[in-house]
Amino acid sequence: MAAGPDPRPEPGPDAGIAELQADIEQTRGELGATVGALSDKLDVKARARQAVADAKQNAKSRPAVQVGALLAAGAGIGLVVWLRRRR
């Protein structure tokens, strides 16, 4: 994944100390943000917890899915009981 071109020009060879320091600070900030984003992606436990929280929220917002799953489970159990009694 290639990043786009840098929108800010790098300081030239005749840049002053203030310009160089500003460039260093901006680069540090960008690097910190990149490291933070990579850390978030590599935190498997946090991502799993977030996925569970998202799934719970989706289940709460869509009760029809819960009812459908309950009916499907009931139908499956009923089918197993019916098949065992036929034998």
Torsion angle (degrees, nearest 10) of CA 64, 69, 74, 77: 170
pLDDT digits (tens), the chain, 87 positions: 455 556 778 888 888 999 999 999 999 999 999 999 999 889 889 899 999 999 888 877 777 877 888 899 999 999 999 999 987
Tell me which residue range forms the domain holding 70.
Answer: 17-86
Instruction: Please indicate, yes or no, if residue 1 is contained in any of the structural domains.
Output: no
Instruction: Please indicate, yes or no, if residue 11 is contained in any of the structural domains.
Output: no
Instruction: Please indicate, yes or no, if residue 6 is contained in any of the structural domains.
Output: no
Q: What is the pLDDT of residues 45-61, one digit of tens each?
A: 989 999 999 988 887 77
DSSP string, 16-63: -HHHHHHHHHHHHHHHHHHHHHHHHHH-HHHHHHHHHHHHHHHHHH-H
Tokens 């005749």, located at residue: 14
pLDDT of amino acid 1: 47
Instruction: Please indicate, yes or no, if residue 72 is contained in any of the structural domains.
Output: yes
Instruction: Please indicate, yes or no, if residue 62 is contained in any of the structural domains.
Output: yes
The pair of structure tokens assigned to 27 is 């680069």
pLDDT of amino acid 5: 57
